[in-house]
Amino acid sequence: MENAIKPSKRALANLELESPADLEDKISHLPSYDPETCPDGLIDLSGATNMLVSDLMGEHMRKFVQDYPVENALLYGQVNGPKELSVAVAQFINRRFAPATAVQAEDILTTNGVTALIDMMSFNFCEPGEAVMVLTPTYLMFPHDLCARTGVQMIPVSTESIPDQYSSKYAARVVDKLEQAYLTSQSCGVNVRALLICNPCNPTGRSYSNASLLEMARFCGRHKMHLLSDEIYAMSNFEPLEPELDMFSSVLSIEDSPHDGVFKENIHCLYGASKDFAAGGIRLGFLITRNELLWKTCRRLALFTWVSSLSTAFFTHFLSDAEAVDEYLALYQSRLRTSYVAASESFRKHGIPFQPANSGMFVFVGLTEWLKYFDAPDVKGQEVQLYRYLAFQAGVHLNMGQMSLSPIPGCFRFVHAAGYTKTVALAIARIGEALSKLEARGSVLDQRPASISSTSAIDSVDDEKRKEPAAEPKLDLRGSIVRLLSCTTHGV
């Protein structure tokens, strides 16, 4: 490698930022759980994969390809898909998102996923050095998607002191936090161009109330900012077990309010096929915007996000059948609720705290109480050790809260839709047993990735990787994001 020419400084700068992959490298070597061949293997619930309806979507795909001319899949197709797809998406949005003003096909831009859209929106919202605000906790890849290629800064805004950031009861307090962060950024010379929210929220499984969305829109209107909502889990919701939880409302439902500076042209929605339709592999994301000039700038960049002919043909066919879509969503939401109920009952049985949810495919479990059993310089280090303990000793892989910029230490995202019911129940039982062992032992001194259990299946992990303790992952995930700012605004 001594003769290799180095990448650019901006490329190397991305390597300086911690990535979820950095923490997962060691865990990836553990054998995966299989009830027959590896019953003590690792149960991986870290990815937001929708396994609840893969059978339904698989059947729709099988039927489609029977009549689809396979040679068409080899053609380029249109950059952002056929007009028929935009029409189908607009009709779907109008039926299911309750927009204040009907969405037209011309308001839709199709790309190869919402990740590409977030990068694209960041580029088109901001000049280098300007910023996008994000309420936390939030989707763990927002820092990467917003900042990796654009030179844009991300300002995380903590809501730690607010009892329920999603409820209309606390909407004014959430906006107060946004105002404080905005003023601090301005005083540091950082111009804020947009507010990005995740609604429903990943990782908490909650949706913002309609009143909360309206207050955020007014905040953005006062400061001439864009409001961008990632609504990839829009249809992943169900009637809550807890009456105080709000059902999903889209930012598209916000009506114009010229007095408040609220105009539909500055409110944008992102959607896609990967979560609600368990179709991440077909790589389709949709921008819904009424801002014609913004749409044009995004369309110019869409050459980098060219969509597949097969993917767009299938999804156009499926989404155009409103009856089939409604039938699918009804069954999906029923299965999702059943999955949540089963998981919540298991959590209660094993004494594992969690935050109630009714959206998304996950819940946020609170293991703060068990951080004290780990010896680390700070709570973030304790959280990393607990993360590794759950993976290597309990055999369950979850995402840490600090990866989602959670202001509360010791939280973990548990994706109950990522496995079969019995597998999810087993994972919860393993976590409960592992926590009980911590309480009985009183402390944990050795966090080597030795094995999940003493079974031969787990012991087959490569011997070289078990001779020495795993390298401690870098801990300061939040710090790497804040370093993008010219002054610190996190925690406002």
Reduced to 3 states (helix: H, G, I; strand: E, B; else coil), residue 410 is coil
Query: Which residues does the chain have with pLDDT short of 70?
Result: 18-23, 443-492
The per-residue pLDDT of the chain, averaged, comes to 90
Q: The whole model's pTM is what?
A: 0.90
* Residues 156-207 pLDDT 10s: 999 999 999 999 999 999 999 999 999 999 999 999 999 999 999 999 999 9
Return the pLDDT at 232. 98
Return the pLDDT at 282. 97
In CATH, what is the architecture of 72-321?
A: 3-Layer(aba) Sandwich (3.40)
Return the pLDDT at 72. 95
Return the pLDDT at 27. 86
Return the pLDDT at 2. 82
Candidates 206, 470, 154, 208; CA nearest to 364 is 206
d(CA 6, CA 15) in angstroms, rounded, equals: 13
According to CATH, where is 3.40.640.10 located in the chain? 72-321
According to CATH, where is 3.90.1150.10 located in the chain? 9-54+327-477
* Residues 290-346 pLDDT 10s: 999 999 999 999 999 999 999 999 999 999 999 999 999 999 999 999 999 999 999
Residue 335 CA, chain-centre distance (Å), reads 20
Q: Which CATH number is associated with domain 9-54+327-477?
A: 3.90.1150.10
Return the pLDDT at 443. 64
β-pairing verdict for 285-288 and 267-272: antiparallel
Return the pLDDT at 162. 96
Return the pLDDT at 21. 65
Which neighbouring-strand residues pair with 132? Answer: 154, 194
Return the pLDDT at 20. 61
d(CA 324, CA 332) in angstroms, rounded, equals: 12
